[in-house]
Structures are given as structure tokens and as C-alpha cells.
Amino acid sequence: MSDPRSVFFISDRTGITAETLGQSLLTQFALDCSPVSMPFTDSPEAVDAAIERIEAAGRRNQSRPIVFSTIIDAGLRNRLRRVNAVVLDFFDTFIGPLESELGMESSHTIGRSHGIADPGAYKLRIDAMNYALSADDGAAVRHYEQADVILVGVSRCGKTPTCIYMALQYGIYAANYPLTDDDLLSGRLPEVLRPYRQRVYALTIRPERLAQIRAERRANTRYASLRQCQYETVRAEGLFHQEKLPFSNTTTMSIEEIAAMIIQSRQLPRRLY
């Protein structure tokens, strides 16, 4: 069995953009990777140290490493090009051609939305995040009037991480409500949600996967048993059909995919890009 391919995400800032871009591209390949993030590579000495580390990985694995770079400084970018690796440079690949086409220079600023260069966007992100946390797991139902969307489903089907992702990525006010035993028995949308049914989006999951997830938290309990998970998912999906609620099966979906489905279905406002 061959060693994993070394992949480096290099930036003279946080590296968030390099990681996001690189991971998005790598998902298109069935490749066993060994990822390394190298943020704040912002001096000739730091670039030289990065080159040494990258080439050492190449010699060790006997394959050329892959480097995703969002280094802004032109001198540092030129210095990095000396490395014996496949270098995918954000500026060379995307920014340069766009500058030529648009007839204007870019701001040469990477990942602006992840910092506080835009105080308005930063406040939107923090406010949405605070809302998601305060309205998690059925809490703060009195504030549902503020919600852009309310996720509904059985425990541990992906509601909370999806709410947090939508808050951080898009500034969406997302609440979530876990279906209780009484809700599942009634087969009807809980009364507290009825005034907001146009904002409700439901999530489901295969019982086998649900049991696996629950066992990580509470192994050998009724809560994590396959039988209980089968019961809950069947009853929940019956409720969704009865109430004609849009829903997605999260079993094989990433958080990003779940969020995209919800945003498209409910036509949610994207306050951040």
C-alpha cells in the first residue's frame, strides 16, 4: 500500500481560503492524502522553511507533494515556485485571468470575510452564530419569529452543525427543534412550530447510521439501539409526509450539501458571501 500523497495549504494569512479551495478540488479524486496547513508563511525565511518541509515530504513519500497557495506577496510567491512540487497558486490560476478580463487590478486581499476587515459582515456573522446557539435543541422557542429557518428532526441527525454552518457561512438565523417521543406519537407538527411551518425544514437519516452516531455518545443504551433508531426515523418521516414538509436524508451528505439544499428549498437570504 502506497503512502498518502502529501498536500500542503500555504498562505501568508490564515490559510482558510487555501484549505477551502484545496479541499473542494481534492474531493473530486479518490486520493489518500496527508494534509498539512501552513498559515502565516509571510517572510522569505518562512517560505524557505516551507520549501524544505515540502521537499522532505516528497522524498519520504517518493511522490511530488501538492501545494495550494494563497500567498499574496509576489516576491514570496516567486520564491515558493522553486519548490519541487505541484504548486496551484490562487493568484496565477484565478486572479490574474480575471484582472486581464476585467481590465482592473484586484485588491490582493484573500479571505476578507473571515476577518474583521468588514465590521458589518463580522457583526452579522456573530449575531447569527449567537442566535443559532441560543435557539439550539428546542431552546428559545419564543424567539422563533427571528428565525430564517427552523430545522426539525430526531436527535443527532445533523441539525446543530448545519445551523452553525449556515450562521457562520451565510449569516442565516437558524434554529433547530428535536422531535420528542410525544411528537413522534402524535404524528403532527408540534404546536410551537405551527405558526412558522413555512420556515420549517426537516432532516432524516438512515437508522443504521443514526445508531452508529448515537453509540459514540451513549453506547449500549436504548437511545442508541438500532430498534429505537428505526422506530424514530420511520415515525419522523411519516410526520414529514403527513405535514408535507420538505426534508433531506443526511446520511451521505456533507454539512455544506445539507445547507445548500435547505437554502435552495426555502429560498433563504444569504447575508454573507
Binding positions = 153-160
* Residue found by looking up cell 498562505 in the block: 11
- Identify whether the C-beta of residue 89 lies closer than 8 Å to the C-beta of residue 31: no
Q: Annotated binding site for ADP: which residue ranges?
A: 153-160
Alpha-carbon distance of 246 to 262, in angstroms, equals 9
Please, are residues 50 and 8 in contact by the beta-carbon 8 Å criterion? yes
Residue owning grid cell 426537516: 202
Q: In which residue are the cell numbers 442565516 written? A: 172
CA distances from 108 to 64, 67, 125, 142, 248 (A): 28, 20, 23, 44, 39
Cell 490564515 belongs to residue: 14
Determine what percent of the chain falls in helix, strand and coil, rounding each to the nearest 5. 55, 15, 30
Q: Phi/psi of residue 167, each to 5°?
A: -65, -50
Please report, in angstroms and rounded to a whole number, the separation of the first and last CA atoms in the chain: 41
Q: What is the DSSP string of 181-201?
A: HHHHHHTS--GGGGGGGGGEE
Phi and psi (nearest 5°) for 173? -85, 105
The cell numbers describing 234, all together, are: 420511520
Identify the three-state secondary structure at position 209: helix
C-alpha closest to that of 167 among 248, 46, 44, 259: 259
